[in-house]
Each structure stands twice: as structure tokens, then as C-alpha cells.
Amino acid sequence: MTTGRRATAGPLSDLRAVLAIAGKDLRSEARSRAATVATVFFSSVTLVVLAFALGRDSDLMTRAAPGVLWVALAFSGVISAAQAYQSDLADGAFEQLLTLPLPRAALFLGKLLANWFTMTVLGAVLLPVASVLFDAPIAGGVPQLLATVTLGTLGFAIVATFYAALTANLVARESLLPVLMFPVVVPVLLASVRATEAIVSGADPALAGDWIELLAGFDLVYLVVTSAIFHIVVEE
């Protein structure tokens, strides 16, 4: 035997596998830009069109900003998730990965990490853009807003990564993915919108904190459940 494979079991090797899968996905996306171009274009158009439509009423715009921001993020996230497994499926690369001694949960967490990172970066970019376009003050609540974006995109990415795997081999995956995932991800989106609203309005800082805690709770439950059952999704 030629290469002397090391023992692969253990948390450290699992963490290494998670990072390797995430790194592979981010490197592939950086080179192909398959999802980046579509998500940036779609979210920009959403923000600009809605800002234009609501443009005469600054009070209405400020109130609409949290909802518009999360609509743009959610629909961009679906586009990104639909692409998440396409490079894996081409040429049987995912099939090959699944024959390696790699925990299914590590594979899922690696894909999730890459999706989450992409969505968080998009959220961090859209946040100031939406603030300017919709005249929504964010300067006083930047740390809380970043926490909301981070946790909201995490919850969304967990559900999106899971359902994208479920639909990856289907012909109608683009239409089925949002139909299946949105009913599940609605609690995350509502909590994200409410938290953002509370921060932007500045009315009740404690209320924002409550919504952020609820978001963290949703994320934890979704993460545990999807990691535990991901192996069912990828077995044939």
C-alpha cells in the first residue's frame, strides 16, 4: 500500500474536512462566479426598483427598508442555493466524495459554511446600500444589525443548503427549491425582519435583543436537525 493513509476519525479531522469542503466551494465560486453574478444583480435590482417605487414617502421607505432588505437577501439566497450543488454534480464529483470515509454531517457543514459566508458578505454589502437608498438610519445599531444579518443568513443558509441537496438531482429543482424551503424558513425571515425593524426604528433596544435571541434559537434547532438527517438526503 503506497500512501500510508492516516487514521481519519476524530473531531480535528472532521473540522479539517468541513474547512476543506467549504474552501473547495468558495474557490470554485470565485473562479466560476456562477452564483455571485446572479445574486448581486438580482438583489441590486430589487433594492433599486423598490426604492424607486416608494420614493416619494420617506417615512414609508424607512419602515419598508427591513422587509425589502430581507426580501432581496432571501431571493438571492435561493438563487445561490440552487447553484450550490451544480459543480458537485457535474462529472460525478459528489458521487466520488460520498464514497470517501467522510461523515455526512461534515460534508453538510462544509457546504453550509460556504453558503453562509457568501450570504453574509452579500448581507453586509446590502445593509449600507439599503440604508442609503431607503433613508434608514443604521449608525446607532451596527453591532446588532451585523448580529442579525449573521444569524438570519445562517438560518436561511441551513435550510437552503439542506433543501438544495434534496432537490439537486431533480429536473425542476429551481422551481421546487423555493416551494419546499420557504415554508420552513419563514420563522427565520420574520425574526430577521422584526429584529432589523426594531434596530432601525431605535424604539426598543431590548425588543431587538429578544428577536436576535429567537433567531439564535431557530438556528440552533435547524442546525442540529439538518446535520443529523442529512445522510438520509444523500443516500439512494
Q: Which of 29, 124, 127 is nearest to 80 (CA)?
A: 29
- Residues 28-47 interacting with another protein (rule: CB under 8 A): 28, 31-32
**41-49, 68-76, 100-108, 142-150 -> range binding another protein (CB under 8 A):** 100-108
**In this structure, are residues 97 and 88 in contact, taking their beta carbons and an 8 Å threshold?**
yes
When asked if residue 100 is in the footprint of another protein (CB under 8 A), the reply is yes
**65-73, 92-100, 126-134, 205-213 -> range binding another protein (CB under 8 A):** 92-100
3-state secondary structure the chain: CCCCCCCCCCHHHHHHHHHHHHHHHHHHHHHHCHHHHHHHHHHHHHHHHHHHHCCCCHHHHHHHHHHHHHHHHHHHHHHHHHHCCHHHHHHHHHHHHHCCCCCHHHHHHHHHHHHHHHHHHHHHHHHHHHHHHCCCCCHHHHHHHHHHHHHHHHHHHHHHHHHHHHHCCCCCHHHHHHHHHHHHHHHHHHHHHHHHHHHHHCCCHHHHHHHHHHHHHHHHHHHHHHHHHHHHHHCC
Q: In the complex with another protein, which residue's Cβ is closer, 88 or 219?
A: 88
**19-27, 50-58, 59-67, 205-213 -> range binding another protein (CB under 8 A):** 19-27
Q: In the complex with another protein, which residue's Cβ is closer, 13 or 36?
A: 13
CB count within 10 Å of CB 168 equals 19
Q: In the complex with another protein, which residue's Cβ is closer, 16 or 55?
A: 16
When asked if residue 5 is in the footprint of another protein (CB under 8 A), the reply is yes
Q: In the complex with another protein, which residue's Cβ is closer, 112 or 199?
A: 112
**219: phi then psi, degrees, rounded to nearest 5:** -60, -45
Q: In the complex with another protein, which residue's Cβ is closer, 6 or 56?
A: 6
When asked if residue 59 is in the footprint of another protein (CB under 8 A), the reply is no
Work out which of 16, 41, 121, 170 binds another protein, going by CB under 8 A. Answer: 16
Q: Rounded CA gap, 133 and 203, in Å?
A: 21
Length of the chain: 236
Give the x-and-dash track for 142-171 against another protein (CB under 8 A): ------------------------------
When asked if residue 11 is in the footprint of another protein (CB under 8 A), the reply is no
Q: In the complex with another protein, which residue's Cβ is closer, 93 or 121?
A: 93
When asked if residue 20 is in the footprint of another protein (CB under 8 A), the reply is yes
Q: In the complex with another protein, which residue's Cβ is closer, 154 or 234?
A: 234
Binding positions for another protein, rule: CB under 8 A: 1-8, 13, 16-17, 20-21, 24, 27-28, 31-32, 87-88, 90-93, 95-103, 235-236
